[in-house]
Amino acid sequence: MDQKMYETFAESLLNTHQTPGAIISLNNQRYEQTFGYRDQENLLPVTPDTMFGIGSIAKAMTCIAVLQLQEAGELSIHDTIKTYIPEVTFQGSNDITLHHLMTHSSGIPPLNTLFYANKQSMERDGSFDLQIKLGAPLDREQDSIDTYDDLINHLNTIPFNLLDRPGRSFSYSNDGYALLGTIIERLSGQPYERYIETNIFQPLDMKNSFFNPDRLDHRAARLYIVDPTADTPVVEHSPEWWDAPAMWAAGYVKSTANDMLRFGDVFLNDGNGILTPESLDALTSQHIEVEPGLHYGYGVIVMPDFFGTTLIEHGGSIKGVTAHFGVLPDRDMAAICLTNIAGAPAESLLKGAVQSEMGIEPDKAAIKYEDYELTEAERHAIIGTYQSNEGQTIKVYEKNAAIFVGYLGTEIPTRSVGSRAVTIAMHGTEYLLQFTENRLHFGFRQLMKSENE
């Protein structure tokens, strides 16, 4: 690895995106580097044992638990969810299987459930009202979702239509993973978090990995945010970890770089004793296309052509957290990037390190999109406001015969790459936006076009 070239690349990204602290680590002592501070105010540096959130990287752990229970004969991933949660009644639930939940192909649209599951901690830091101010479809008076029963009742009572027949199309759903947590708890006879700690963390010697924020100690990274309402964006410490026990299965693990490399051994060593090779193959198979060149397995994204090899990866983001995890089985390589602010360029940092180790420029893209000149009719067809009940609002508009995207108060220029596709640069990565009829596929989710447009 050309460390000087990579670290120049990394420091430029971190400075551009105002990232207080980060660690990038590759297994087998290939490379490890810390940047900045776990505690910026007290100038405490990041170390390999600094505790960070990992966000949705934990979805792979939930899927490993489901596959373990299948190995034990407790369930089949092709059973419907009503087999194990008979009280679910929301539209389409009769046809949704565990496989559909694990692959985000259930048809459940983006919902605001996660906000209500986080409500108690968001009220303590003032961010629940802030989300309402920013346009998230939330009701101050609605009760928080604190248990699996609360979650099931919420899904049964709120009005929503499935995006598609189960199994047909991909749209990321934290709610689906929360339902998997319910099933794991019921069939194992123990709390979800205890099952994960007993059957994944302990056998992998992940001694510094857990769910409950009360277990954080002096080694934990402080959480940082950028106030989206400020005229000048300033990074500031925000002391409250968002916590949602009813949604722990969707991504609330706290861990360290050292522990996450141990987790990588599951993918590199035929399951490493916690999964059979057959279950590992199921975990990492290409079950459904996310977008061209990317597929979803069970809790992991599979890129079959990452510069001639397969990359298995997943990211995670929530308040004070941006993380990215990856393994390249053919190269016996695992990698982790952890940071302590949302919106950090963790994916670019991780891929840059992996590419540098492979002798490839750190800023080179594995998936390339060719330029395409949109016609006037094609531009008109994609213009509009696209929204989800998860709080996302994306405005696509034309200015000077070019297409721009308005997102999180920022005007972002696009690059046209197809008759119904553009890309934007964000967090150091080029992201694809695909338009189909009245929908926008962005951020792994399907957003609906406003009906009055």
Provide the pLDDT confidence category of residue 453 given band limits of 50, 70 and 90.
low
Would you call 415 exposed, middle or buried from its count of C-beta atoms within 10 A (0-12, 13-18, 19+)? middle
Assigned domain for 157 exists: yes
| Dihedral angle over CA of 176, 180, 185, 186, nearest 10 | 100
Q: Are residues 390 and 336 both part of a single domain?
A: no
Cα 425 from Cα 430, distance rounded (Å): 4
Q: Are residues 401 and 271 both part of a single domain?
A: no
Cα 238 from Cα 240, distance rounded (Å): 6
Q: Are residues 280 and 420 both part of a single domain?
A: no
Assigned domain for 31 exists: no
Q: Are residues 340 and 416 both part of a single domain?
A: no
Q: Are residues 263 and 392 both part of a single domain?
A: no
Cα 180 from Cα 169, distance rounded (Å): 19
Q: Are residues 351 and 384 both part of a single domain?
A: no
Q: What does pLDDT average to over the chain?
A: 95
Assigned domain for 418 exists: yes
Would you call 308 exposed, middle or buried from its count of C-beta atoms within 10 A (0-12, 13-18, 19+)? exposed
Averaged pLDDT for residues 196-207: 98
Q: Are residues 62 and 147 both part of a single domain?
A: yes
Cα 115 from Cα 369, distance rounded (Å): 35
State the DSSP code for 208.
T
Assigned domain for 25 exists: no
pLDDT tens digit string along 289-343? 999 999 999 999 999 999 999 999 999 999 999 999 999 999 999 999 999 999 9
Cα 238 from Cα 236, distance rounded (Å): 6
Q: 300 or 437: whose pLDDT is higher?
A: 300
Write down the pLDDT at residue 408.
79
Q: Are residues 279 and 409 both part of a single domain?
A: no
Q: Residue 53 pLDDT more than 80?
A: yes
Encoding tokens for residue 81?
């969810």
State the DSSP code for 56.
G
Write down the pLDDT at residue 192.
98
Q: Are residues 216 and 352 both part of a single domain?
A: yes
Domain count, the chain: 2
CATH (domain of 257): 3.40.710.10
Q: Are residues 324 and 384 both part of a single domain?
A: no
Write down the pLDDT at residue 138.
87
Which residues, including other chains, have CB under 8 Å from residue 221's CB and lie 6 or more apart? 21, 38, 39, 46, 50, 51, 52, 320, 338, 340
Averaged pLDDT for residues 370-379: 94
Assigned domain for 45 exists: no
CATH (domain of 399): 2.40.128.600
Last residue of a domain, one of 326, 357, 388: 357
Q: Which residue type, as a one-letter code, is found at position 94?
A: N
**Of 21-25, 275-279, 293-297, 385-389, where does mean pLDDT reach its minimum?**
385-389
Cα 365 from Cα 55, distance rounded (Å): 24
Q: Are residues 305 and 246 both part of a single domain?
A: yes
In which element (H, E) is residue 15 found? helix 3-16
Last residue of a domain, one of 357, 387, 402: 357
In which element (H, E) is residue 371 found? none
Assigned domain for 44 exists: no
Q: Are residues 414 and 312 both part of a single domain?
A: no
Averaged pLDDT for residues 232-241: 89
The domain in which residue 405 lies consists of 376-449
Assigned domain for 15 exists: no
**Mind giving me the DSSP string for 378-427?**
HHHHH-EEEE-TTS-EEEEEEETTEEEEEETTEEEE-EEEETTEEEEEET
Provide the pLDDT confidence category of residue 452 given band limits of 50, 70 and 90.
low
Provide the pLDDT confidence category of residue 168 given band limits of 50, 70 and 90.
very high
Provide the pLDDT confidence category of residue 351 given band limits of 50, 70 and 90.
very high
Write down the pLDDT at residue 167.
96
Assigned domain for 102 exists: yes
The CA-to-CA distance between both ends of the chain, in Å, stands at: 51
Q: Is the dihedral of CA 63, 65, 69, 71 positive or negative?
A: positive
pLDDT tens digit string along 73-124? 999 999 999 999 999 999 899 999 999 999 999 999 999 999 999 999 999 9
Encoding tokens for residue 428?
């150091």
